[in-house]
Chain A
Amino acid sequence: MVSTVTAARDIAAQVPDPELPILTLADLGILRDVREEAGTVTVTITPTYSGCPAMREMSHDLRHRLQQAGYPEVIVRTELSPPWSSDWITEAGRRKLAAAGIAPPNPAHRRVAGPIPLTLTVRSRTIACPQCGSLRTAETAAFSGTACKALYRCVECREPFEYVKEI
């Protein structure tokens, strides 16, 4: 018999992301904490971007699934700090992204002291094409269908693809 909090955590972890349903909230690293006290489950999540319109759907879906599983009292908390980093996407999440044709993020830049550096040219990242694996890829747009992705194309196989930006 697994403890109730473990069971609740498993349910919360399996909730899919509304924008990228191939990933679960746990894969994406936005599930911060699941607690159970006196029958009330408290789930803490964090937004990827300030304007992420999926937060409400996630919160709703979490509540719905946990209630279906027999936890009538569910509280979903938002935690803003520290802010989400693409580094929090798990290894499993990265594999699922790549399998879906979306390039997973490179490590986020470590912040150094002083003013935030300005990038005036197209970012030169080394990104492998999720279709053919070639490293000869180029950014075509800094933003894509969602705020968290940039648009790329492969110079080798000519396929366009999305890349989850490092933040």
Chain B
Amino acid sequence: MIEDEFGAYHALTESEDDHRWAFGTGFTDALEGVDTGVAEGIDGDALAAYCLMLGDDALIYSHRLQQWITRAPELEEETALGNIALDLLGQARMLLARAGRADGTGRDEDRFAFFRDEHEFRNVRLVERLDQDFAELVARLLIFSAFRLALFDGLRASTDPVLSAIAEKGVKELTYHRDYAASWVVRLGDGTELSHRRMQAAIEVNWPLLDELFTPHAVEAALAGVAVEVGTLRAEVEAVLDTVLATASLDRPDLAPMAKLRGLAGRDGVHTEALGMLLAELQSVARAHPDATW
């Protein structure tokens, strides 16, 4: 037993072949041992761009959730947020690794996460904003996870076996994320006068970013059978949101979508100013010490 416990930590304590999960440790293959060949008839560049879209959503949002660590109202919520962020980071790692194989460049997840500039990120703008309070956190987590769950549920049928497998796994995780967010939105919306007011305000802050989630993109159009047509997800996602809002005694906002820049938005690399500041933090160590190993 003691020997076994020692054995379990062997990899952590062994010095000559160190593979810890952090920048510069060589721990960079989230798809080790997975067959990542691109099937005949699938456009590798489009597949890579699509993986970046889905991977960047998870990467950037995971970072925003991680920023809540040590700031959550209760230890239990901090643990929940840490676990949700970890699930999303895991999804991001596999998708970014898939992108590097699909486009033939062989770039690894670190290359994508730490050495791309703002305009090269393909995430939706919903994930960029810094939450101002816990109500904003759960409002966005609800919208994000309701959307991503519907998307991944559809992606299970993708003709790309790697995307399909990532989605099949992610569906189980996202179901928990969505339930967690929804139960908090109900608790706060249906709580005191103060919590209700702040929850309503938090829904309204995030609502203008909802429309972008369902805007079709040329990359998806180029990947028939591989990618999900996001427009088809709208009814399902809005039905979920409507159910949660009604249960929480919250009003569905009637707000115009956030303006785009000459028709371009997050999926085209056109972001809100919040992303630049987020990336400055996310990428600071890797950029200051690009050749670091430890």
Residue B24 lies at the interface, judged by CB distance under 8 Å to chain A: no
Complex contacts, A158 vs chain B, CB 8 Å: none
The A-contacting residues of B in range 113-162, CB under 8 angstroms, are 149-150, 153, 161-162
- Look across to chain B and name the residue whose beta carbon is closest to the beta carbon of A145: B79
Knowing A50-B94, A80-B168, the reply to whether A120 touches B5 (Cβ < 8 A) is no
Q: What does the 1/0 interface line of A46-71 toward B look like (CB < 8 Å)?
A: 01011111001101110011000000
A62 to chain B, nearest CB (A): 10
A86 to chain B, nearest CB (A): 10
Cα distance, A158 to B21, chains bound together (Å): 37
Knowing A51-B89, A80-B168, A82-B168, the reply to whether A142 touches B180 (Cβ < 8 A) is yes
Complex contacts, B76 vs chain A, CB 8 Å: 140-141, 143, 151
Cα distance, A5 to B21, chains bound together (Å): 31
Complex contacts, B254 vs chain A, CB 8 Å: none
A50 touches B90 (CB 8 A): yes
Complex contacts, B229 vs chain A, CB 8 Å: none
Q: Give the tally of cross-chain contacts (CB within 8 A).
A: 151
Partner of A16, one of B5, B164, B179, B247: B5
Knowing A118-B178, A147-B86, the reply to whether A21 touches B243 (Cβ < 8 A) is no
A51 touches B10 (CB 8 A): no
Residue A112 lies at the interface, judged by CB distance under 8 Å to chain B: no
The B-contacting residues of A in range 27-53, CB under 8 angstroms, are 44, 47, 49-53
Complex contacts, A60 vs chain B, CB 8 Å: 10-11, 14, 17, 19
Knowing A83-B172, A119-B179, A147-B87, the reply to whether A78 touches B32 (Cβ < 8 A) is yes
Residue B33 lies at the interface, judged by CB distance under 8 Å to chain A: yes
- Look across to chain A and name the residue whose beta carbon is closest to the beta carbon of B178: A118
Interface hub of B82, B149, B180, B183 (most chain A Cβ within 10 A): B183
Residue B8 lies at the interface, judged by CB distance under 8 Å to chain A: yes
Main secondary structure of the interface of A (DSSP, over half): loop
Complex contacts, A122 vs chain B, CB 8 Å: 183
Interface hub of A59, A75, A120, A123 (most chain B Cβ within 10 A): A120
Residue B31 lies at the interface, judged by CB distance under 8 Å to chain A: yes
Closest 10 CB pairs of A and B: A51-B90, A50-B90, A77-B33, A80-B165, A60-B11, A141-B76, A81-B165, A51-B86, A143-B80, A83-B169
A120 touches B183 (CB 8 A): yes
Residue B294 lies at the interface, judged by CB distance under 8 Å to chain A: no
B173 touches A50 (CB 8 A): yes
Knowing A51-B88, A80-B34, the reply to whether A142 touches B179 (Cβ < 8 A) is yes
Cα distance, A105 to B168, chains bound together (Å): 20
A57 touches B168 (CB 8 A): no
Q: What does the 1/0 interface line of A142-162 toward B look like (CB < 8 Å)?
A: 111111000100000000000
- Look across to chain B and name the residue whose beta carbon is closest to the beta carbon of A78: B33
Partner of A76, one of B12, B32, B170: B32
Complex contacts, A9 vs chain B, CB 8 Å: none
Complex contacts, A167 vs chain B, CB 8 Å: 172-173, 176
Cα distance, A59 to B31, chains bound together (Å): 12
Complex contacts, B282 vs chain A, CB 8 Å: none
Cα distance, A81 to B133, chains bound together (Å): 38
Residue B182 lies at the interface, judged by CB distance under 8 Å to chain A: yes
Partner of B79, one of A14, A116, A141: A141
- Look across to chain A and name the residue whose beta carbon is closest to the beta carbon of B5: A21
Residue A3 lies at the interface, judged by CB distance under 8 Å to chain B: no
A56 touches B27 (CB 8 A): yes
B8 touches A17 (CB 8 A): yes
Q: What does the 1/0 interface line of B1-42 toward A look like (CB < 8 Å)?
A: 000110111111010010111000001000111100000000
B161 touches A81 (CB 8 A): yes
- Look across to chain B and name the residue whose beta carbon is closest to the beta carbon of A123: B179
Residue B278 lies at the interface, judged by CB distance under 8 Å to chain A: no
Using A21-B8, A60-B14, A120-B179 as known contacts, list a sample of 9 further A-B pairs with CB atoms less than 8 Å apart, ordered by residue number in A. Answer: A47-B169, A49-B86, A51-B93, A60-B17, A76-B32, A81-B168, A115-B150, A115-B153, A118-B244
Knowing A50-B94, A81-B161, the reply to whether A144 touches B19 (Cβ < 8 A) is no
